[in-house]
Structure 1
């Protein structure tokens, strides 16, 4: 390291200190030959030693100094003379053709630890040797050190995981007052394709309330009127087959036939709350409470004339009693709506 002291102008004193290197690498002699005859191989290695005592020490002492470069192992052939016939060995051809050098072999990669977002897979590496008959057997790792060892780990599936992609919000379903706006939310993979695998817990919502600054006005004729008994014409009730508009409104289907062929029975009809979505020009069902005003009745009494042998005629009091029970039935049961399911198609309409 270096220390500088500044004194008068244009003068300085420097002290330079060097830490001596007291450990170094040295190459060993060749290890014994792997075969006594018929061709074998032998390797050298490197050892760390203390320059002062010339004693071998742990490798970590030589790794402190960047200047210390560990020698690479050397490999050479040895004992190439054919084995004597008396030993039962056949005459062999040159060593490099029939006695390959030891080599690294690996097992297949394991499955990736993650399906997306980056994972790790591993494999086992071992040093093997092939004999003259082609039989492969594991040997000590130092015999393969003359070539680099293959990696044991590698990254895998480094592409991004599928994520939710939300489209633009649609125009408000109402032209005045409060309505709803919708959007399409898709699960997209790293290639931009519609796929699955996105977490439903973090899915963006597809419906929001919206308020148009223009207030809504209703004429006096459209205000709810007092309901009359079912056998009278109800002027304020929407007519059957009313067209769906961009404002949520009740849509009524026709009454069913009377449940009995004589006496007092009942008729039912389907009552929906629907709206036209201006951005797609399609009709959507809404919860009943999204439509303003009282819900039209979905059941009423009907009279099909006296039954055979019945002297009592149908009376308004009896009809009113039955009508009241049907109204209670209407109030006890109602449709409930859950969230929309995933669209059946990713594009082109579904």
Structure 2
């Protein structure tokens, strides 16, 4: 039993975990603290041959695979005023300029929208005339629409319906 343990200890000393490459220069975020990652591999220390991970399971110190990076705080996005709406009614869009004061120093996850809907109210409205007596009302159909007219005090008020 003792010799097996001793042999096992000797064998495990021959294997080592080491980074397969140095820490990646790529940080997961531009600012506000992200992480940088690296892979680790199990190697035979005698001939530097890569091994399967289970060979290194008994190695007590596993190299770090994640490191914090870019601790500087993110800057706030700058947003200009909204521009004019593309439509006066029926739904349009308006745009604005959104920029970061310093390149790569704003959090992309909190990028404000640069476009929004506007003037969504319908393009219809009531038209009212002055009070008076209705003398005559009629509607006529043409090939493409109806035309309805109401005469109030001998003044025609007409509406074309499609």
Q: What's the TM-score once normalised by structure 2's chain length? A: 0.41
Q: What's the TM-score once normalised by structure 1's chain length? A: 0.21
Q: Larger radius of gyration, structure 1 or 2?
A: 1
> Higher strand proportion, which one?
2
Quick one: higher RCO (CA 8 Å, sep 6+), 1 or 2?
Answer: 2
